[in-house]
Amino acid sequence: MIKRIAFLLLFVFVGFSASCTGNSEYELEPIATPAAVTLTQDGTEYDLVFTSDNREANFSGYGIFRGASTALAEANLSDNKDTFTSDNSRCFVSVTSSQISYAAPQVKIRLKAATAPGGYHGHCSSTDLLLSPGEFVSVRAYVSRDSDVWSKPATVVVP
């Protein structure tokens, strides 16, 4: 009887040992891409509105990029937020997951504005982002981690 139990335990141990590959690699959590993006003009300012479900760990906000073509506005970025510099073709808006209501996950960002009105999640100042009709604006979510820090772009045309 004891030999049978010992044999059964040895069989179970060998079975579990064989199934363990020792692989310590992990897959990065995908970053949710902003969706249903709209850009409307309000005088000299613009409202960028989109839905977003960015519940990722270390989610930090959104990069907004301008370009004369979709390729320029959607350029694949390697910068992380700490080395990201706002200029007339891009800006970064810090938003935390706690600022987004996931019952109705709509994000509002005012572009070319000195401040963000009530109900908005942030703004890009008029010196940070120069927009012209017919150009393209892309928005990407940013997660602070070692690699693959930006989501895929969501792009609209400047009215």
Q: In the chain, what are the domain boundaries?
A: 35-157
CATH number for 35-157: choose from 2.60.40, 2.40.10, 2.60.120, 1.10.3470.
2.60.40
Could you give the C-alpha distances from 125 to 50, 114, 115, 122, in angstroms and in order?
A: 19, 5, 7, 10
Q: Are strands 45-51 and 59-67 parallel, antiparallel or unpaired?
A: unpaired
Give whichever of 25-29, 57-61, 110-114 has the largest mean pLDDT: 57-61
Query: Please, which pLDDT band fits residue 99 given cuts at 50, 70 and 90?
Result: confident
Could you say which DSSP state residue 129 is in? Answer: B
Cite the beta strand spans of 8-121 per DSSP E.
35-42, 45-51, 59-67, 90-94, 106-111
Query: Please, which pLDDT band fits residue 107 given cuts at 50, 70 and 90?
Result: confident
Instruction: Check: pTM over 0.85? Answer yes or no.
Output: no
Q: Are strands 122-124 and 106-111 parallel, antiparallel or unpaired?
A: parallel
At residue 76, the pLDDT reads 59
* Beta-ladder partners of 97: none
Distance CA 74, CA 154 (A): 8
Query: Please, which pLDDT band fits residue 5 given cuts at 50, 70 and 90?
Result: low
Radius of gyration of the chain, Cα coordinates, nearest whole angstrom: 23
